[in-house]
Amino acid sequence: MTTIIYLHRGNPFFLHLSIEQAHKQNPDIPIILLGDETNKDVRFAQHFMLTDYMDRASELAKVYRHASPNGYDYELFCFQRWLIIWEFMQKNPSFEGRFAYFDSDTLLFDGVRDCLGLGENGTEEKPMPRLLLENNLCPAFSFFDHGTLGEICRVIEGFYTDPKLMQYWTDFVSKTEENKAVHGFSDMYALEYYCLHEHPGETRSIDLPTADEAGELACFDQNICLSDGFVMNDKGQKAFTWRNGKPYARLQSTGQDVRFRGIHFQGKSKFLMAPYTHTPIYRLKGHWVMDYIKYLLRRFTWITKLKKTLSFASN
């Protein structure tokens, strides 16, 4: 059995678009939303209150040390989400097997069973990696089982409780400060540690184009605003073309077209999700009016933010 999981606080328009698109591609696979009071109206997902699964996440908050230019609450919650999902799995054993976790600013264009190489009955036709995600650290699209997530949670907690992992955290933060890097320590580096140090060679980066069963190159998008070796358009996004409702982008190195199983609309690109699903703005659900106003304001303030970022890096 395979289950798709979302976790989100708040009721933005893109959460609705993402879940509806995942359901469209997987009408027979259960979709779980671990959410709050504001997003109980999301269609196509079974809604659970994430506050019912906060025991382990609350313990993490007691030892968490912040080392990121992002806000304290935001970064802590990024770590906590994995503990929340793990606790949900523990308390709801009827959901078993492989799990797909998708960020709420993603659109899926393939069936999950096809992405995982599963048979029609959900069985594994060949041994599968422990963890599938992008670039060994980006979890916008990620696939795992219960045991794997338990190990990842142990790594996350270990950065603040285990001497070996605490030293890794200290070295990482010191190196970041020495290099005056803009990024800080996030949950992505817990996933990277798991891939590179806990189970090297047993995970797979799904942002790398690989041939599917039909021999066509396919991959997941790490960020629509990053080239990742693909041709970009004049707006700074991957230059997608469409065939039979599927997005394709062209490799700069070989000129080959690659089918994208999913696209990640990070940051200010979220409003592209509406035209990519052919959804008129007046049909958007959730708090789309406020989201749209914020989007317009960001378009006028991104230069100011860029100047701040450059100033942070130069200090």
Whether pLDDT at 1 is above 80: no
Contact (CB, 8 A) for 132 and 82: no
- Tell me the mean pLDDT in the region 57-81: 96
* pLDDT recorded at residue 226: 96
* pLDDT recorded at residue 304: 54
312 confidence band (pLDDT: 50, 70, 90): very low
Coil vs helix vs strand at 115: helix
Whether pLDDT at 300 is above 80: no
Whether pLDDT at 310 is above 50: no
Least Cα distance to 72 among 209, 186, 179 occurs for 186
What is the domain-level CATH number for residue 52? Answer: 3.90.550.10
309 confidence band (pLDDT: 50, 70, 90): very low
Containing 177, the helix (H) or strand (E) segment is helix 163-178
Output the 3-class SS for 58-87: HHHHHHCCCCCCCCHHHHHHHHHHHHHHHH
Whether pLDDT at 149 is above 80: yes
Residue with more model confidence, 311 or 261: 261
Q: pLDDT (tens digit, 9 = 90+) per residue, 4-20? A: 999 999 999 999 999 99
User: How many domains are there within the chain?
Assistant: 1
Containing 199, the helix (H) or strand (E) segment is none
Average pLDDT, the chain: 90
Least Cα distance to 16 among 38, 36, 41 occurs for 41
**pTM of this structure:** 0.90
The dihedral sign for the CA sequence 151, 108, 137, 254? positive
Please state at what angle helix 72-91 crosses helix 55-63, rounded to 10 degrees: 150
Whether pLDDT at 313 is above 60: no
Q: pLDDT (tens digit, 9 = 90+) per residue, 186-200? A: 999 999 999 999 999
Residue with more model confidence, 300 or 294: 294
Least Cα distance to 278 among 105, 27, 20, 32 occurs for 20
Contact (CB, 8 A) for 33 and 45: yes
* pLDDT recorded at residue 124: 55
187 exposure class (CB count in 10 Å sphere: 0-12, 13-18, 19+): buried
Name which of 168-182, 208-222, 262-276 the model is least confident about: 168-182
Question: In terms of residue numbers, what domain contains 276?
Answer: 2-314
Please tell me the number of Cα atoms within 13 Å of 165 on its side-chain side.
20
Residue with more model confidence, 264 or 282: 264
- Tell me the mean pLDDT in the region 125-130: 76
